[in-house]
């Protein structure tokens, strides 16, 4: 039996006028899929890039965005018995999470530990697992290192900053001037991305041990120019054009279930404060 649902639909690539919230129905889950009633779904830079058509190898419009969700299992499709109805699960969906209900492959669901703040857990699935992949798995950041984070006020940048600080690193990064005070309060050093003063400043400090760069192309050379003699840079998404030129370049896409599990554990152990800028309701 199909289930009434509301969902965000990007009808064509482009500005916000191409985004609508529609009433629809979701069919019963097919084989090996589970139907989840979403409590929260994540919204960050990737969703915007997808709407603008800038995300690598993305779907053509129309599609429903939403890279991650936390919700409750409401129906098991044929062949599914891993979760009981009512179990709270999280999923890195990539698409379709900005919807009341979603049918998702059972193998991509992870159980959410009892007592977890579900809103905070939502940020762990994409933003924080990406940051965890960058800072811990790939960067292996350690105490005393100097780390530079492009977009330090953003979803991934903020998480990367907190994780690097938790390892004892000194963190620098770029953001808008309106966000300087918040970043300084958190113990990091902000620079404006509207000028290039951060390049000279980092060079005069002897360079960064690690640079995390989601921008790519021209920024890749700039990131490279602020590395210490033994530093490494990690590109976050677009494959940098000069990847082959640099033996010190790492490219990572940290989207996998194991990392999400580690992030959930990390939150339990360290009681990190995850941070949400705003909450939107689905209204159709």
Ligand X SMILES: NC(=O)c1ccc[n+]([C@@H]2O[C@H](COP(=O)([O-])OP(=O)(O)OC[C@H]3O[C@@H](n4cnc5c(N)ncnc54)[C@H](OP(=O)(O)O)[C@@H]3O)[C@@H](O)[C@H]2O)c1
Window 48 to 67, contacts with ligand X (CB under 6 A): 49
Query: 3-state DSSP call for residue 228?
Result: strand
Q: Which residue has the tokens 């350690």?
A: 142
- CB-nearer residue toward ligand X: 84 or 178: 178
Q: From the list 122, 130, 145, 267, which residue makes contact with ligand X (rule: CB under 6 A)?
A: 130
- CB-nearer residue toward ligand X: 150 or 232: 150
Q: Which residue has the tokens 């300084």?
A: 184
How far apart are alpha carbons 279 and 284 in whole angstroms? 16
The tokens of 104 are what?
């998702």
How far apart are alpha carbons 132 and 138 in whole angstroms? 8
Given the rule CB under 6 A, which of 6-14, 123-131, 134-142, 162-170 is the region that contacts ligand X? 123-131
Q: Where are the alpha helices (DSSP H) in 148-217?
A: 155-166, 180-185, 197-204
Q: From the list 51, 150, 211, 260, which residue makes contact with ligand X (rule: CB under 6 A)?
A: 150
From the CB of 260, what's the least distance to ligand X, in Å? 11
Let me know the angle formed at the C-alpha of 239 by 93 and 223, rounded to the nearest 5 degrees.
Answer: 115
Query: 3-state DSSP call for residue 260?
Result: helix
Given the rule CB under 6 A, which of 5-13, 97-105, 170-178, 224-232 is the region that contacts ligand X? 170-178
Window 210 to 269, contacts with ligand X (CB under 6 A): 214-215, 236-237
Tell me which residues touch ligand X (CB under 6 A): 44-46, 49, 126-127, 130, 150-157, 174-176, 179, 193, 214-215, 236-237
């Amino acid at each position: 039996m199909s289930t009434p649902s509301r969902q965000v639909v990007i009808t064509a690539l482009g500005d916000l006028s191409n985004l609508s919230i529609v009433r629809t129905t979701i069919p019963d889950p097919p084989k090996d899929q589970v139907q989840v009633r979403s409590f929260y779904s994540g919204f960050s830079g990737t969703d915007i890039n997808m709407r603008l058509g800038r995300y690598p190898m993305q779907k053509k419009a129309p599609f429903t965005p939403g890279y991650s969700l936390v919700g409750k299992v409401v129906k098991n499709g044929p062949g599914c018995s891993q979760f009981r109805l009512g179990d709270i699960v999280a999923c890195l969906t990539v698409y379709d999470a900005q919807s009341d209900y979603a049918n998702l492959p059972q193998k991509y669901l992870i159980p959410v530990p009892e007592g977890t703040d579900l809103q905070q857990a939502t940020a762990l699935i994409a933003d924080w697992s990406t940051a965890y992949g960058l800072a811990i798995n790939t960067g292996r950041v350690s105490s005393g290192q100097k780390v530079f984070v492009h977009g330090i006020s953003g979803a991934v940048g903020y998480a990367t900053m907190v994780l690097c600080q938790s390892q004892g690193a000194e963190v620098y990064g770029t953001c808008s001037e309106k966000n300087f005070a918040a970043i300084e309060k958190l113990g990091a050093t902000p620079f404006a991305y509207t000028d290039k003063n951060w390049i000279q400043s980092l060079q005069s400090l002897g360079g960064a041990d690690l640079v995390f760069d989601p921008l790519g192309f021209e920024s890749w050379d700039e990131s490279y120019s602020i590395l210490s003699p033994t530093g490494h840079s990690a590109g976050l998404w677009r494959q940098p054009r000069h990847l082959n030129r640099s033996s010190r370049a790492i490219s990572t896409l940290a989207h996998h279930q194991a990392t999400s599990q580690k992030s959930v554990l990390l939150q339990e152990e360290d009681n990190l404060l995850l941070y949400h800028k705003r909450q939107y309701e689905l209204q159709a």
